[in-house]
Amino acid sequence: MGSLYRSEEMRLCQLILHKDAAFSCVAELGRKALVQFKDMNPDVNAFQRTFVRDIRRCNEMERKLRFLETQIKKRGIVMAPTDDKNFDVPHPREMNNMQTTLADLERDVNEMRESNVTLKKSFMELTELEQVLKKSEEFFEGGFNDAAMAEILAADESEMGGLQMVKTYVLDKEATGFVVGVVPRERSSAFERVLWRACRRTVFVRLTEIETPLEDPETGERVEKCVFIIFYKGERLKSIVDKVCD
């Protein structure tokens, strides 16, 4: 019975193999897991060894395999079980074919990922546009436009005088406009505060939440957003509102 602190008895051997048979012989010895190879050139730099290119190629193929495995598991696809003990070591010619196949698969998966992200972005933008149209209709049906004009007029009257501002409001009625859009729910309060400070409380802002969370195309996480509508009067306020919304 062996000891935990002592390895099995070993014997130093020297193998002289033909170049064409060396790969198959070493691969078979590696499968047995009974041989420890001794470095006969310990002073040679690792980058100067003849097999460095092969190791780099194997590392690159391993990276591609890990990437493909991650994408497969991410989609919930069940993979066939593999036997880590009984496997055939591929020949160098087969390694070249495997490298080409893995490169093609990685390229195809990346293209599908990009297409999927693009489709999800388009879907989210269309969903946001649908919600903007729906909520805007609710805003106008609820009389928010009249309330907005009254609030803007009251704010202007407090600064410049009621009679004069009524006349100005009638003359500049065509300059009154509104902006609608979508903002993340966690940023809605900060967005509203910035608008109030930038426009000096001369705009009318209303926000309403989108009931169904949207899916972020990049991360796949659910994002809660709000639809906002901003009423303003004058080109100066329009430029300020546009900058804040951008």
Residue by residue, DSSP assigns 85-111 as: SS-PPPPHHHHHHHHHHHHHHHHHHHH
- pLDDT band per the 50, 70, 90 thresholds, residue 1: very low
Please give the class, per CATH, of domain 123-245.
alpha beta
Helix (H) or strand (E) holding 231: strand 225-233
Most trustworthy range by pLDDT among 46-60, 100-114, 188-202, 226-240: 100-114
d(CA 195, CA 183): 13
If you count DSSP H runs as helices and E runs as strands, how many of each does the chain have, helices first?
7, 5
Neighbours of 89 (CB within 10 A): 13
d(CA 15, CA 34): 15
d(CA 88, CA 52): 22
d(CA 15, CA 22): 10
Mean pLDDT of 114-134: 89
For position 104, what pLDDT does the model report?
A: 95
Q: Where are the domains of the chain?
A: 19-113, 123-245
**Is the pTM here over 0.75, yes or no?**
no
Mean pLDDT of 19-26: 83
Share of the chain above pLDDT 90, in %: 12
